[in-house]
A and B are shown apart, each in its own frame.
Chain A
Amino acid sequence: QVQLVESGGGAVQPGRSLRLACAASGFSFSTYGMHWVRQAPGKRLEWVAIIWSDGNSKKYADSVKGRFTISRDNSKNTLYLQMDSLRAEDTAIYYCARVAVGIDVNAFDMWGQGTQVTVSS
């Protein structure tokens, strides 16, 4: 079964850190670029970061650059998002999503169910 399952969310105080994980199964994870996308309560989808299949190329949204780090372990079929210096405005559901390889590399063809991150004192 092809799926993405996020974990690691929770409640954290401002300034603290959190690490999210996204476990992939049912497809050749190492051949796909992967994204993190977030959605604050009642707000639009916001792209956070992308990492390409080999893990060497990464790109971040301006809102998280310098605070968040995307990484992957292809031997474990897992994507990560290290979130440091968290702020209240980082409160959101965080989704991992797959690059639509073979269709359009600038689209997202599969999404996980998301993990909730709440930043509050």
Chain B
Amino acid sequence: SYELTQPLSVSVALGQTATITCGGNKIGNKNVHWYQQKPGQAPVVVMYRDSNRPSGIPERFSGSNSGNTATLTISRAQAGDEADYYCQVWDGSTAHFVFGAGTKVTVL
């Protein structure tokens, strides 16, 4: 089965840039989606298809995907960006939906 690898945690200073990676075999050939989950809340999609922001998501969020790594970048990080972030793909070989383990972002 397809596996996605994320760092457990990322820390970023207020106003600086946070980079969250999602590793997978030839993940650049897949569409990667990103979800933000704050404590006690349901996930919210923050990025579709590698680099497409849903309406209502700030331009500070951006994404890319190439080779074996997809990346979600949060520019000018704010306290409200503290959350767990999950990457997700569809594994065509099994027709299953796969999530990464999640990255906890802390804004210092």
Contacts and interface: CB of A to CB of B under 8 A. Distances in A.
A80 interface: no
A18 to B, nearest CB: 20
A47 B101 contact: no
Please classify the interface of chain A as helix (H, G, I), strand (E, B), loop, or mixed, using the class held by over half of its residues.
strand
Given A100-B45, A104-B48, A107-B48, A44 B33 contact: no
Contacts, number: 61
A112 B102 CA distance: 19
Contacts of B96: 47, 59, 61-62
Contact of B95 (A59, A103, A107): A59
B28 interface: no
Nearest to B6: A44
B7 to A, nearest CB: 13
Contact of B42 (A44, A106, A111): A111
Contacts of B86: 44-45
Given A44-B86, A45-B86, A104-B33, A109 B97 contact: no
| Interface size grouping (class) on chain B | 20 to 34
B101 A44 contact: yes
Interface residues of A, number: 22
Nearest to B37: A45
Given A44-B86, A45-B35, A111-B43, A106 B97 contact: yes
B33 A45 contact: no
Contact of A108 (B31, B45, B100): B45
B23 to A, nearest CB: 15
Interface of B: 31, 33, 35, 37, 41-45, 48-49, 52, 54, 86, 88-90, 95-102
Interface of A: 35, 44-47, 50, 59, 61-62, 95, 97, 100, 103-104, 106-109, 111-114
